[in-house]
Structure 1
Amino acid sequence: MHPPDAIEKLDKLGIAWFCDRIIGGASITALAKAAGVSRGSLINWLAADPERQRLAHDARRLSASAFDDKAETVLLEANDKFELAKAKELAHHYRWRASKISPEYGDRQELVGAGGAALIPDPYEGLSDRDRHLEAARRVMFVLARGAAAAESQASTSANFAST
């Protein structure tokens, strides 16, 4: 299929057709087949227009709930041990897919240090407000002094280099 024919077909179907089916859990491959175009043509058509791309992205994010529903459905419809084993694998896949599409379906992750402590300790912990301000001022002065020393060193190196 020539891309102009594909573009014409996709334009005729429209972004609403695409988004409605994506939200329902259809894959890009299935949609390309239903539209009678290649997967690449569909992806290029979506990428060609920023608004179309944004709508498609939003539809993908919303499709996470469809995958969560699919996971529950396959488990409930399993009639024997074989179907249940297959359903468990599919449910795991659908939930994994939902977690990649929308973070709210993923496992909660939090980085903490030993015993729940912060990974980066607060350098001002335990100091009064006055001492916090003094420590912050000391650190700023240290950085400024280091910067001034580096600038002075660079200036003298440049001057020595220019005179040789």
Structure 2
Amino acid sequence: MPDLITLDGSIRNDDWAVVPRPADGDSLAVPEGQRSLIPADLWLAGHEHYAGREDIGVWFDSHEEPEVLAGKVNELPVIAVNFPKFSDGRGYSIARLLRERFGYNNELRAIGDVLLDQLQFMKRCGFDTFALREDKDITKAAKCLNFFSQGYQAATDTDEPLFRRRAS
């Protein structure tokens, strides 16, 4: 299994399998006995079957809207957001919406084309675990999570912008 980086910079084994979206006409194949992340819309379509299961989480692609899970997000132990390429920033917005608008409080994971220089920005948007792209050095991740000592703007990790923090 690949490794994950956590918010404190530690590395842990990833025991969740990302189940790809089935081709048109095919059914979803969830591996038996394996914690699995399935496409969010398919989880919603099979909600009566998947509800309450701690071994099933979901993943969003960057073009999908998290609103589809409004009111149900905290039923999920893990939500992953796929970054199909490092230059696609829509996943940052999905993370902020899940945390701030929909109140998601469980594990929020960044998957896909995740690079070291993105980690601190992903953290500020609400991600708390990160699956780095395979060709990146995971041992450098802890330093990248806290590269800057302060952020100027408010985010999920602070409610006030820097100018207000300095004034108080």
Settle same-fold status: TM greater than 0.5. no
TM-score range, shorter chain: under 0.3
Between 1 and 2, higher relative CO (CA 8 Å, sep ≥ 6) is seen in 2
TM-score, normalised relative to structure 1: 0.27
Q: Which has the higher strand share?
A: 2
User: What is the TM-score of this pair, normalised by structure 2?
Assistant: 0.27
